[in-house]
Structure 1
């Protein structure tokens, strides 16, 4: 799956996971989002489901500061907008916080849910804490990759004590 990032350059460049993905050729830095791009938007009303892979040709991460996320995501973007189902952050800044993911965590998670697990793991391999994100969410990835509708998410979260 083609990975793209739209960067706002709001965070410490040394900690920017999107910049590191671009540097290693794992994602492309873009200025515009195509209509077939899956835009990972934490404010979207719809949650990413495995069947969404048939609507898209790329996954787009919006790289911005969590402090400015509301402002960044209020902009009009093309593409298919989806939020990720609840996941625990593995990064050192927001460790184990629900849904406070870095760009690489969000892109990796979307790949896992869409059935591209090997590519998702490849992204995480570039970060010392990448395996932590995977280990925290491995069972959830397995469950989410089988979702048929959004209503099933609450049942999964109850099973894992996350609601």
Structure 2
């Protein structure tokens, strides 16, 4: 799956996971989003599910500061907008916080949900804490991969004590 990042350059460049992905050739930096790009938007009404795979040709991560996310995502983007189902962050800054993911975590999570596990693991292995993100959420990824509708998410979260 083609991975792309739209970068706002709002965070410490040394900690920017999007810049590291571009540097290693794992994602492409873009200025414009195509209509078949899956835009990972935490404010979207719709949740990403494996059945969305047939609608898209790329996954786009919007790289911005969480403190400025509402401004960044209020911009009009092309593409198919989806939020990720709830996940625990594995990065050192927001460790174990629900939904406070880095760009690489968001892109990897979308790959796992879309059934692209090997590519998701390949992304995470470039980061010292990448395995932590996967280990924290491995069971959730397995459950989310089987989702047929958004109502099932609440049941999963209750099962895992996250609600």
TM-score, normalised on structure 1? 1.00
Paired residues, number: 163
- 1:101, distance to aligned residue in structure 2 (A): 0.1
Name the counterpart of 1:103: 103
- 1:107, distance to aligned residue in structure 2 (A): 0.1
SS at match of 2:15: coil
CA distance in 1, matches of 2:146, 2:107: 18
Does structure 1 residue 18 correspond to structure 2 residue 15?
no
Runs of 4+ aligned structure 1 residues displaced above 4 Å come to: none
- 1:2, distance to aligned residue in structure 2 (A): 0.2
CA distance in 2, matches of 1:121, 1:66: 24
**1:1-163, aligned counterparts within 5 Å?**
1-163=1-163
- Provide structure 1 residue ranges, at least 5 long, that are not aligned to the other structure: none
CA distance in 1, matches of 2:53, 2:80: 11
- Provide structure 2 residue ranges, at least 5 long, that are not aligned to the other structure: none
- The two structures, once aligned, show a CA RMSD in angstroms of 0.2
CA distance in 2, matches of 1:84, 1:5: 16
Q: Deviations over 1:91-126 (max 9, x none)?
A: 000000000000000000000000000000000000
TM-score, normalised on structure 2? 1.00
CA distance in 2, matches of 1:109, 1:74: 23
SS at match of 1:122: helix
CA distance in 2, matches of 1:143, 1:15: 30
CA distance in 2, matches of 1:149, 1:111: 18
- 1:138, distance to aligned residue in structure 2 (A): 0.2
- 1:81, distance to aligned residue in structure 2 (A): 0.1
CA distance in 2, matches of 1:29, 1:145: 27
CA distance in 2, matches of 1:70, 1:63: 12
CA distance in 2, matches of 1:34, 1:159: 37
SS at match of 1:81: strand
